Chain A
Amino acid sequence: MLLRIHDLHAEIDGKPILRGIDLEVGAGEVHAVMGPNGSGKSTLAQLLAGREVYTVTRGEVTFDGKNLLEMPADLRAREGLFLSFQYPIELPGIANSYFLKAAVNAVRRHRGLSELDAVDFLVAARAKMKLVGLREDFLHRSVNEGFSGGEKKRNEIFQMAMLEPRLAILDETDSGLDVDALRTVAEGVNSLRSPDRAIVVITHYQRLLDYIVPDKTHVLAGGRIVRSGGAELAREVEERGYGWITGATESSDGMPVAAA
């Protein structure tokens, strides 16, 4: 099992957010995670990526057999865990190409591969940018600065393609994309599906899952996975909302479920 989460509890500022998550993701699999707003999806994603603002109060997580929770965030990344951010961060003054080349080479060094020089990098970057429909001039712009919502998401998938992770967690990569962009990005993700790579797709919409068909679907509510199933579960959620699963008309944070 590539990723194994057992009884994971986590809180922020003393407020419990994850309340006993169990999840196993094998290499080659695609899992979809759905759930109402505020149910803890991004928290789970960021916690797995090593964000330090959350405190784990119980449970374990292993990544390829290693204790993930002991690793600092940058080591997790170099070990092959990638997070596509729900809200990608802007880095003013830092060229996208410069940033990504530094990242790619940090990962390559860790894997015992030779570093890419400027030419190799450019050749690789051009090919991957085409994959996600990003124009080449984005290489020279500051990371995410002034990018439109959709451009930021494409840039995340571009980075993923360059970094070749073993586990990619995509946090609402589809939000904010127009119909065409959605298809392009989904095709980009599909082209990265491989027997030794796992992908966890966090989404609110069935639409993305029409393109990226998941092997499993999970519904997260109130910090727990309350239902798991196959691709059909996502369709059911789309049609019926979450109420029939969570047994309530409101989500954990008091938001009407319909808003999801």
Chain B
Amino acid sequence: MSSGTQAKDLVDDGEYKWGFVTDIESDVAPAGLSEDIIRFISAKKNEPEFMLEWRLKAFRAWLKMAAEEGEPDWAHVKFTPIDYQAISYYAAPKKKDGPKSLDEVDPELLATFEKLGIPLAERAILAGVAVDAVFDSVSVATTFKEKLAEVGVIFCSFSDAVQHHPELVRKYLGSVVPVADNFFAALNSAVFTDGSFCYIPPGVRCPMELSTYFRINTANTGQFERTLIVADEGAYVSYLEGCTAPKRDENQLHAAVVELVAHERAQIKYSTVQNWYPGDKEGRGGIYNFVTKRGKCAGAHSKISWTQVETGSSITWKYPSVILQGDDSVGEFYSVAVTNNHQQADTGTKMLHIGKNTSSTIVSKGISAGQGQNSYRGLVYVAPGAEGARNYSQCDSLLIGDKCGAHTFPYIDVRNPTSQVEHEASTSRIGEDQIFYCRQRGLTQEDAVSLIVNGFCKQVFRELPMEFAVEAQKLLSVTLEGAVG
């Protein structure tokens, strides 16, 4: 695949400038990637030595992967090669980057916000209007922080965590997704500039759903976001990522890494609604969303649940996984992935059963419309020592129209005879008869489609926090508008 050569060239053709020195006073790093740029990023962020070492280790691993294999090309997606030397890997957070007011925002985007019922003030933030020009969200964030501090929950930006809780960062960063895990994770580890950090102390049930929404400085986390969530013994946290409004971004490549660690009897529920810009109807533009998400059930009786609704991005490449290491630990994956127009999604999960009596559930709902291509890729691995492991997988595909596609790639690797693994799959098309039935009862074509699609996704939606589920439903209708007829 040609996309790999770009990364290789960078090492092979001698253009790679090791000796080049970046001006530390500069607010923006020059385009390109080198060890020097990484030192620059780390220095800019005033990081302790261990962070720089860690980044450099990741960078060297990435270089090696780039030289040997290039970008991973096994996924069922097609894209034009990414020029890693054309990207600028650091820009100091700026205050007034975006439009000054809503008047300057793309009317189509605003129309979508309206359909989703997003409050006026939030529309402005989402459209990139400078936050302080809109309303004083600092007060909201502050009350929120105080409440969390009372119970000892740490919830802050990754940069803050590196400054104020370096021991926690050092202990857990890369403990689930090692620097050399994969091409995009290595790249992220080398160059990430910010993200979220969350630590729930032993026995604490986090008093509210944590959401990046409340962290005002998320606007500039950029293309390489890093999230680390640690639930200590017996702790519980529900974390919401993203929001349902379409997000525009000039950065085409997004390579985030999310790591979750659940200690004994701890539970982490991680919910995502991903609605990055999918490109236009002809497939131009749109975000490449190459994410590595993994959780480790480190302690016995721990539980990690991933719930995702993926409607955006032109390409989604994402496999939230769970390492079931502790005995009796539980992993769950509930997913709705929608592809419309020219969108491509290759998503699924990995459940790695290591501990005894571990169990996992996978429910994947893929919806393809237009010329969208939707693939489910899942691995269920049962290690020799995983006595009594159980997995149940269900992968359903719904097709709207006849130019789209759905593909299922289940990989099952069972090495313990006492385990039980079940896999069910189905593919259906929205029937003309179903739509006619709904219309005969007075519902419009669009209402009929959204009704049927929501019915199809119900098993996943009911895993989402309430308001999120309502928003996800609306979002699905908006995404599939005009998909039929």
Contact = CB atoms under 8 A, between A and B. Distances in A.
A91 B442 contact: no
B338 to A, nearest CB: 16
A91 B452 contact: yes
Interface stretch (A28-36, A98-106, A130-138, A227-235): A98-106
Chain B interface helix/strand/loop/mixed = helix
Interface stretch (B288-296, B427-435, B475-483): B427-435
B316 to A, nearest CB: 24
A85 interface: yes
> Interface centre among A49, A78, A93, A142, by most B CB within 10 Å?
A93
Interface stretch (B56-64, B187-195, B198-206, B443-451): B443-451
A256 to B, nearest CB: 29
Contacts of B252: none
B437 A89 contact: yes
Nearest to B437: A89
A51 B438 CA distance: 11
B447 A73 contact: no
Interface string B38-74: 0000000000000000000000000000000000000
Interface string A145-164: 00000000000000100010
B443 to A, nearest CB: 6
B441 interface: yes
B439 interface: yes
Interface string B454-466: 1111110000000
Interface residues on A, range: 20 to 34
B451 A94 contact: yes
A129 interface: no
Interface string A70-98: 00111011100011010011111110000
Contacts of A94: 451-452, 454-455
Interface string B406-444: 000000000000000000000000011110111111111
A83 B441 CA distance: 8
> Which of A90, A102, A159 has the most B CB atoms < 10 Å from its CB?
A102
A74 B442 contact: yes
A103 B458 CA distance: 20
Interface string A181-222: 000000000000000000000000000000000000000000
A72 B439 CA distance: 9
A72 B438 CA distance: 12
B442 A163 contact: yes
Contact of B442 (A85, A88, A103): A103
Contacts of A107: 442
B430 to A, nearest CB: 10
Most buried by B among A49, A91, A100, A110: A91
Contact of A159 (B441, B445, B459): B441
Contacts of A53: 432
Contacts of B451: 91, 94, 99, 102
A85 B432 CA distance: 14
Contacts of B443: 74, 102-103, 106
A99 B439 CA distance: 11
Nearest to B436: A51
A73 B436 contact: yes
Nearest to B461: A93
A40 interface: no
A223 interface: no
Contacts of B452: 91, 94
B439 A93 contact: no
Contacts of A72: 439
Contacts of A82: 440
B431 A89 contact: yes
A91 B438 contact: yes
B445 A74 contact: yes
B9 to A, nearest CB: 49
Contacts of A49: 436, 440
Contacts of B432: 53
A57 B444 CA distance: 26
Interface residues of B, number: 23
Nearest to B485: A52
B454 A77 contact: no
B455 A92 contact: yes
B442 A110 contact: yes
Nearest to B432: A53
A72 B454 CA distance: 24
B144 to A, nearest CB: 33
Given A74-B444, A159-B441, A163-B441, A93 B436 contact: no
B434 A74 contact: no
Contact of B441 (A51, A77, A92, A93): A77
A100 B451 CA distance: 12
Given A51-B436, A83-B440, A89-B434, A102 B447 contact: yes
Contacts of A77: 439-442
Nearest to B451: A94
Interface string A21-56: 000000000000000000000000000011111000
Contacts of A52: 436
A88 B433 CA distance: 10
A93 B454 contact: yes
Contacts of A50: 436, 439-440
A99 B452 CA distance: 10
A94 to B, nearest CB: 4
Contacts of B457: 93
A184 B458 CA distance: 34
Contacts of A88: 437
Contacts of B444: 74, 106
B394 to A, nearest CB: 13
A142 B454 CA distance: 12
A73 to B, nearest CB: 4
A218 to B, nearest CB: 22
A73 B454 contact: no
Interface of A: 49-53, 72-74, 76-78, 82-83, 85, 88-94, 99-100, 102-103, 106-107, 110, 142, 159, 163
Given A85-B437, A92-B456, 15 more contacts: A49-B436, A52-B436, A53-B432, A73-B440, A82-B440, A85-B440, A89-B431, A89-B436, A92-B455, A93-B455, A93-B458, A93-B459, A94-B454, A99-B441, A103-B438
Closest 6 CB pairs of A and B: A93-B455, A103-B441, A94-B455, A106-B442, A89-B437, A77-B442
22 contacts: A49-B440, A50-B439, A50-B440, A51-B436, A74-B442, A74-B445, A76-B440, A83-B440, A85-B437, A89-B434, A89-B436, A93-B456, A94-B451, A94-B452, A94-B454, A99-B441, A99-B451, A102-B451, A106-B441, A106-B444, A110-B442, A142-B455
